[in-house]
Amino acid sequence: MKDVKVLVDIGSTFTKVTAVDIEKREIQSQSSAPTTPTDVSVGLQNALEGLKLTSGALKPAQVLACSSAAGGLRMVAIGLVEDLTAKAAKQAALGAGARVLKTFSFQLTEEDRAEITHLNPDIILLAGGTDGGNAENILHNAKVLASLPKPVPVVVAGNRSVAQEVAQSFPESFSTYIAANVMPQIGKLQVEPAREAIRQVFMEKIIYAKGLTKASRLIDGIFMPTPAAVLRAGQLLSEGTTITKGWGDCLIVDVGGATTDVHSLGDGMPTKAGVVMRGLPEPFAKRTVEGDLGVRVSVVSLMEAVSSRVLAQDTGWSEERVESRIRALNDQPETLPQNPEEVLFDQVLGHQAVKLGVGRHVGRLSELYTPSGLVWIQDGKDLSKLKRVIGTGGVLINSGDPLVMLEGARQEGTSVLELRPESPNYFLDGEYILAAMGLLAQEHPEVALTVLKNSLSEHELTRRDK
């Protein structure tokens, strides 16, 4: 009997499955099938059948899954100060694979309460105050949240001096979880405990709430949101294991129909002399989500961010034709390109989504004049010396020329104050394995790392100026 792990990614559109031979450290087979929203187990069954594994190939409890179906993991993050605990709470939520609907700071008002009710989040992350610091704010916000008309799981990750009191402010129906403070001291970020608590809530509460329990007879469990699995794979690839060295700093760009997600793995400290860091330290594993940079569902907002004039210049089309194509894609997001001109148009959209998404993710330099002279200030991560950019997402994987899109990440023709990769190598997640290997890494990190390196190396893209 072979030792085979089957890794499942239940997406909103497709359910993808990958079977890995643990002993050989290689992919045995892959399959996908459309996700069936009314009962995800139907699409999952179809995808599993497509693997064509021999009878008896699987041992019990060998099927692991992640999911971004049913709208993904929708969260609200709340902190004390916008640039401190509120920002730390947002980083923790994004790193846990959530889609952050909104971040609130200071004391919640009745208007904020009404807005949170309307947003209808799956989880609330409540932070605020350093350990032993401000307690009034988080206690006030807990009382406001406790009066929401619909109970919501709440992760308390603020001032530890009042964490128990904050948790006890909620009715039992809210299901509160206490994690270590996301910012225990000014200037110190501690997001991993909150991320783990969010993952626990996802497994215990959200799977049931989204109706994904129907798939339980086919899988061992849904262990994390898909974006968290991708980030976990990136971290493994970057850091390696106790036995095998990783690749070092990496950037992962996932261009989708609705969003562009950017993951960076690296400390992002200044690489230029005389630069001073400002603001909160950045997490080693950082994720940002750009909800206005999708190439289908969010294509109108992507055009607004870029401008129809720029898209017309890049494609050689008229602005009227660009706007007409954008409307068509918006009305029918499932539309696929039918001719070389439409293929080019998708490439231009993908390039701009990568360019803007990475530009928002990376750090920036600014000048500050002091009595002792000019000082360069860095906000965010310096990724200028990063050597590997990995692309994933349908528009990239299904493209005949993904390189033209991924080069949007590069420091070329953009502001030199943006700390983008200057001369990276490019790789494509051509077999959709990042999420699968993030799952596999929980029990078999060495196997997952081997599969990642081999698959990505097979899909290395040659830059045109080499």
Candidates 431, 262, 226, 432; CA nearest to 353 is 262
Half-sphere exposure of 135 (CA within 13 A, CB side): 9
Check residue 463 and give its pLDDT. 67
Q: Compute the distance between CA of residue 138 and CA of residue 156 in angstroms, rounded to an integer.
A: 9
Alpha helices in 73-154 (DSSP H): 85-95, 110-119, 136-146
Task: State percent of the chain over pLDDT 70.
Answer: 95
What's the pLDDT band for 156 if we cut at 50, 70, 90? very high
24-32: long-range contacts at Cβ-Cβ below 8 A with a sequence spacing of 24 or more?
25/446, 25/447, 25/450, 25/451, 26/450, 26/451, 26/454, 27/431, 27/433, 27/451, 27/455, 28/4, 28/53, 29/53, 30/431, 30/432, 32/432
Least confident piece of the model among 15-29, 207-221, 255-269, 346-360: 207-221
> Tokens at residue 247, please?
């690749």
The residue-averaged pLDDT of 88-95 equals 90
pLDDT of residue 125: 96
The chain-wide mean pLDDT, for the chain, equals: 90
pLDDT of residue 261: 94
Report which of 182, 227, 225 is spatially closest to residue 200, judged by C-alpha positions: 225
Taking residues 38-61, what's their average pLDDT? 71
Specify the higher pLDDT residue, 188 or 312: 312
The rounded percent of the chain whose pLDDT value lies above 90 is 67
**Closest to 66 (Cα-Cα) out of 120, 130, 146, 12:** 12
Between the CA atoms of 332, 334, 338 and 343, what dihedral angle is there, to the nearest 10 degrees?
A: 100
Given a contact cutoff of 8 angstroms between Cβ atoms, the answer to whether 284 and 265 are in contact is yes
Q: Does 279 or 30 have the greater pLDDT score?
A: 30
Question: What digits encode the pLDDT tens for the residues 298-313?
Answer: 999 999 999 999 999 9
In residues, how long is the chain?
Answer: 466
Q: Please give the residue that has the higher pLDDT: either 142 or 333.
A: 142
Least confident of 11-20, 201-210, 422-431: 201-210
Q: Which helix (H) or strand (E) holds 226?
A: helix 226-239
Average pLDDT of span 416-432 = 93
Mean local confidence (pLDDT), 215-240? 88
What pTM was estimated for this model as a whole?
Answer: 0.90
Contact of 102 with 74, CB cutoff 8 Å: no
**Arithmetic mean of pLDDT, 195-220:** 79
Question: Is residue 233 very low, low, confident or very high in pLDDT (cuts 50, 70, 90)?
Answer: very high
Specify the CATH class of 73-206 in words.
Answer: alpha beta
Average pLDDT, integer, range 7-17: 87
Report the Cα–Cα distance between both ends of the chain, in Å, rounded: 47
User: According to the model, what pLDDT value does residue 353 have?
Assistant: 96
pLDDT at res. 209: 65
More confident residue, 186 or 390: 390
- Across 39-50, average pLDDT: 86
Q: Average the pLDDT over 411-423 and give the result.
A: 83
Residue 72 has what pLDDT? 76
Q: Which residues contact 87 (CB under 8 A, 6 or more apart)?
A: 79, 103, 280
Across 249-281, b (16+ Cβ under 10 Å) vs e yields bbbbbbbbbbbbbbbbbbebebeeeebebeebe
d(CA 466, CA 456): 19
> Where are the domains positioned within the chain?
4-70+210-219, 73-206, 237-430
Range in 59-63, 248-252, 263-267, 427-431 with the lowest mean pLDDT: 59-63
For residue 1, the model assigns a pLDDT of 47
Greater pLDDT, 290 or 210 = 290
The arithmetic mean of pLDDT across residues 224-236, rounded, is: 93
CATH of region 4-70+210-219, choose from 3.30.420.300, 3.50.40.10, 2.60.40.2310, 3.40.630.10: 3.30.420.300
